[in-house]
Every structure is written in structure tokens, then in C-alpha cells.
Structure 1
Amino acid sequence: MKKALLALAALTAMGVAHAEDTLKKIKDSGSITLGVRESSGALAYTLGDGKYVGFHTEMCQKVVADLQKKLGLAKLDIKYQPVTSQNRIPLVQNGTVDLECGSTTNNAARQKDVAFAITTYVEEVRIAVKAKSGINSIKDLAGKTVATTTGTTSVQTLRKHERASGVDFKEVFGKDHADSFLLLESGRADAFVMDGQILAGNISKSKNPADFKIVGEVLSVEPIACMIRKDDPAFKAAVDDSIKAQIKDGSLAKLYDKWFMQPIPPTNTKVGLPLSEATKAAWANPNDKPMEDYAKK
């Protein structure tokens, strides 16, 4: 009996230690690794030379500042690890990335592998086309070539709609969002299906933004949130508390205005996407619900 109790105590201690892994790791190392994106629209992108910017990138930098205070560290170094749609989940799982701050949809399947901070952006998946293409809805994609990005939920959305409406189109895949947009820009694809803000961001940075437009039905509504490792409630609480504080003091709304409504680098063009009612609702009632809960509405 005593041995069984000792074993149980040891397992409990291991569980507690595991639950505090990320905060302990950050405190012990004096550094945190953020997973960042190179072309995820105004949410997260690179200016080159190791400089990463965007709404989620800057929000996470504020989270890091709050973590530094919480842990009583005089200094906390930020390391930036570029991630793609394909490798972002494995890099969070294996400990390479502590906090992923890109453009990841929170869904039930992913919640089996990782945890999510509270939703900070609610996305609508749309279709980008060339302005003179004559494509105005998903039905106009019949016989066309459609680009999307490998490892994104837009692939499933596309297939679901193909079955539902009987529209037959060819799919091509970009390795990242910039690559997918290049497929559209160069004429190798007739349309690019992706999160609306990613489409708008890539259009705003193109040589001739007026050559493109976002059209068609909203294909899905998706909560976007930052990823962290599973079974680490202390770290999740610390991240969530920082984001809630940013919502409460209005700094998150100011960040949104900065990245979506004002001219942004490198071309000093505006994305021009006002804060949506769905995102306002997510901020008013902070939660980490998956997209399946949105679909039920």
C-alpha cells in the first residue's frame, strides 16, 4: 500500500512538474521561442532580415513582456522560429516553439494535439481572383484551377464545397501563403481560397492591388488563436491573462487599428479590414471554442 501511495505521489509530482514545464523552461533559460509566419497577412509576416511583424506578432511580444514580469526576470530574450502551415503543430508539440503566433484556426482536430489561447481574431474564408476574371462566386470556379496553401483548413473547406455544389475544379498548392498568391498573380491559378485577411494582406502588398478582388460567399467562419502545448494549464492561464488584459485596456483594439486600418510596411498600403462583429464578440466573451462551435450557430 505504501509503495502504491509513493508511486501515486511520484506520478502526481510528475504531472505538476509537466504542467509547469513551459514557465519553468522560460525562467530557467531566460528565453522564449515564438513561432512566427512569413506571409500570413497583417496577422503575422516578415520584413526580411529576421524582422517579424503583424497584429499577432506584436500581441505576443506584449504577452512575453507580461510573462517576464510574472516570472520576475530582469531580461527575457525572444527567439523567432519561422513556421509554416505544415510544421507549426509538430514544432509546438516537440518544444521547439513555446508560443505560436501566426494565423492558426482553432478546430476540434487540432485540439487533440495542441492547446489554444483565447480567440483573438475571427476569420472568414473567401476567394481572391483577378479583377477581370469574371469569377464572382464558387460556382464560377467550374473548370478552373484553384490555389490554396498546403496544411491549411481551406483545403477541407474547398473539398467540402466541391462535393456540395458539384463544381469540378483543379487544385494546386502553394508551400506558403505568398507562394499561393504568386500562383494567382502569375496566372497559374484562377483563384486563391484562404482566410480573408491573408488574401487582403497579399493583395495590398502586390504590385497592382487594383488588379485583384475578393469575391463570393463566406466559405467558413474560423476562430484564429495562438497555439501552445497541451496539458500546460499554468502557461495557458498566463498567456490568456495577458491577452485579456490587452483587450480590457484597449491596447489590442489599437493594435488591430495599426495593422488592419493604417498603412503598414513594407509598401505602406492599408489592408482596410475593419474590426468584424464576430471578432468584437470574441473579445467581449473570451473563449477558446473550436470552429465547430461557430458552425452550430
Structure 2
Amino acid sequence: MKFSNLMTAVLLVAGLASTASAQTLQKINDSNKITVSYREASVPFSYLIGSSKSVGFSVELTDAIIDDVRKKLKKPNLEVATMPVTSQNRIPLLVNGTYDLECGSTTNNSTRAKDVTFAINHFYTGTRLLTKKSSGIKNYADLAKKTVSSTTGTTNAQVIRKYSADKNLDMQLILGKDHDDSLLLVENDRALAFAMDDILLFGLMANSKNPAALEVVGDSLQVEPYACMLRKDDPEFKKLVDGTINRLMKSGEFEKMYTKWFASPIPPKGVNLNLPMSEQLKANLKAMSDAPAL
């Protein structure tokens, strides 16, 4: 086969594969199965209690979307498969079709939007620091030439690295494979602070071995919206997912879910995060924007 013909064939096959993987509802309908992801340590969004049961605000959001998929496809017995993802593999596994929907604690930003599509934003947060109360750390300047942990594949690692360079702080950044691993680096004194979204830090602290020994400190670096991730170029599935979130926000069910996970005792220890809804999120209950972080 001539090289030009070979290239045409390769591009055609790649295009067909891309189209097939993008049309999520058709894929789900044909297989009678939807595969959704969960996170193992993103409290209170998506996390494990016990060895295999995932719970959290984003898990309930996922369940509501699945219910609407069942109704749309008229498949009340639709099979639901779940799989754990990490900050590092969540995007490639979604893009290649391994799973169909990610609602966890993923920041909606323009860089990621080159590879995936985001639904309506459902939370807003910013990077802060978790440290031991005994560390004396109160803000970023206290970490000059000190060791800081963050999690592989997160925007927070990029934010803290840039902040350190811009301010000439020469922080030594070490990366955990997941949020539990990054917290452990602080608990074991391998890092003085853990840089992450503040809500995740509060959740991790609440469920840590010794919550009273830890605190969240520092200014909030950049506002970041969380949103569910979908494959690109699939307007039909985005319309369904956005429709679910729209319905929950308009009906008041979203606010009830928020109260359950952010302002009430949550499993496994019954800790209450006592986190009022931010002004940005209150505004987005009306705007229903999917705008990325600036």
C-alpha cells in the first residue's frame, strides 16, 4: 500500500474510533453498561469507607446522572460498573474510553479542556496548606527552602511550584501518589505542609489519625471550580449531565446534598466540616456556568 493510502486508512480508523468513543450514550446503550469513576481519598466528594464502598457528594451527583441515563435510554436495569481513578490517570482513562464519567474533585481549567469537556461547575475552592500545629507554619513565606508535599497530577502542584518560583522561596516539592499519601508525608515529618484544595484538606484532616494536631493555614491561591468530566465532542451526553445538575440546582436538591456533605456529620467518623456554601457557588446555582478557572 502506498504511504499516502496507508496514512489515509490510519487516519480514517483513528477518526472512527474517536467518534465511537465520543458518543457515550450510544456506547452505554449498546453495552447496557455505564462505567463511572470514584476517588479513594477526596473527602467529602468521593472516598472509600471500608475496602470498596465509595461515598460522598460527587458520588451522589454521579448516581443522579446515572438515573437520568436510565430514563433517557429506557434501561431501568442498566449495569453500573465503578472504577477507582487517581489525579494522574483520570483524564487518559476517560479519553481512551475505559470509563464514561468522572465526578470527583477535578478542577475545570482551560488546559484540561483541550482533552475533555466539563459539565456545570458544582464547587469552588483554592490552594491552601495543611500542617501540624507544632510546625509554626502560618503562610507560604514560612516554607522558604522547606519541604512541601502535594499530589501527582493536580493543579495544586503546579500552583505551588509557580508560587515558589515567583516569590523566590525555593520550596522543595515532593509528590504523593494520592491525597492520603501526601498527608502521610506531613504526618511522618517528611514534609512540613501539604498544598491542596482547602476543602480536601479539611476533609482529610477531619478523618486523619489525630485531627487535633493539624490545621489548615495560608492564603487561598486562585479560585478553582470543580466539575464533572466527560469526553470531548459529545454534546448529547453533556446536555444530559448538565440537565441533571440544572435540575438538582433548580429544585433545591443540590442544596440539600451540600448540607448533607459539608454541614452535617459525615462517615466514617461523624465529623462535621461546617463549611458554608461559598459566594461563588451560590452565584452559580443561578448562573449554572461551566466556565473554567482563570
Output the TM-score relative to the length of structure 1.
0.90
The within-5 A match list for 1:82-231 is 82-231=84-233
Once residues 20 and 269 of structure 1 are traced to their aligned partners in structure 2, the CA distance between those partners, rounded to angstroms, is 40
Counterpart of 2:5?
none
Q: Which moved more, 1:225-234 or 1:30-39?
A: 30-39
Write out per-residue CA displacement over residues 166-191 of structure 1, whole angstroms, 9 at most, x where no aligned residue. 11221111000011011111111100
Counterpart of 2:24?
22
The secondary structure found in structure 2 opposite 1:171 is strand
**Structure 1 position 19, deviation (Å):** 8.8
Counterpart of 1:6?
none
Letter in 1 for 2:167: S
Counterpart of 1:256?
258
Once residues 196 and 142 of structure 2 are traced to their aligned partners in structure 1, the CA distance between those partners, rounded to angstroms, is 17
Moved over 6 A (4+): none
CA contact (8 A) 1:18 1:232 kept: no
Write out per-residue CA displacement over residues 123-169 of structure 1, whole angstroms, 9 at most, x where no aligned residue. 11111111121111110111221000000001110111112211122
Once residues 50 and 113 of structure 2 are traced to their aligned partners in structure 1, the CA distance between those partners, rounded to angstroms, is 32
Once residues 20 and 289 of structure 2 are traced to their aligned partners in structure 1, the CA distance between those partners, rounded to angstroms, is 24
Structure 1: segments with no counterpart, 5+ residues = 1-9, 293-297
Once residues 229 and 21 of structure 2 are traced to their aligned partners in structure 1, the CA distance between those partners, rounded to angstroms, is 16
Once residues 210 and 21 of structure 2 are traced to their aligned partners in structure 1, the CA distance between those partners, rounded to angstroms, is 49
**Structure 1 position 77, deviation (Å):** 2.0
**Structure 1 position 209, deviation (Å):** 1.1
Once residues 272 and 34 of structure 1 are traced to their aligned partners in structure 2, the CA distance between those partners, rounded to angstroms, is 29
Once residues 171 and 35 of structure 1 are traced to their aligned partners in structure 2, the CA distance between those partners, rounded to angstroms, is 28
Letter in 2 for 1:81: M
The secondary structure found in structure 2 opposite 1:42 is coil
**Structure 1 position 24, deviation (Å):** 1.0
1:47 is matched with which residue: 46, 49, 66?
A: 49
Counterpart of 2:7?
none
Once residues 73 and 21 of structure 2 are traced to their aligned partners in structure 1, the CA distance between those partners, rounded to angstroms, is 16
Counterpart of 1:232?
234
CA contact (8 A) 1:20 1:235 kept: no
Going from structure 1 to structure 2, the CA distance change for 1:121 and 1:188 (only over 3 Å counts) comes to same
The secondary structure found in structure 2 opposite 1:52 is strand
Counterpart of 1:4?
none
Once residues 260 and 133 of structure 2 are traced to their aligned partners in structure 1, the CA distance between those partners, rounded to angstroms, is 27
CA contact (8 A) 1:119 1:283 kept: no
Letter in 1 for 2:244: S
Aligned length: 281
Write out per-residue CA displacement over residues 244-282 of structure 1, whole angstroms, 9 at most, x where no aligned residue. 001111111111111111111111111221111111122
**Structure 1 position 20, deviation (Å):** 7.0
**Structure 1 position 210, deviation (Å):** 1.4
Letter in 2 for 1:166: N
Write out per-residue CA displacement over residues 178-216 of structure 1, whole angstroms, 9 at most, x where no aligned residue. 110111111111000000111000000012211111111
Once residues 166 and 182 of structure 1 are traced to their aligned partners in structure 2, the CA distance between those partners, rounded to angstroms, is 27
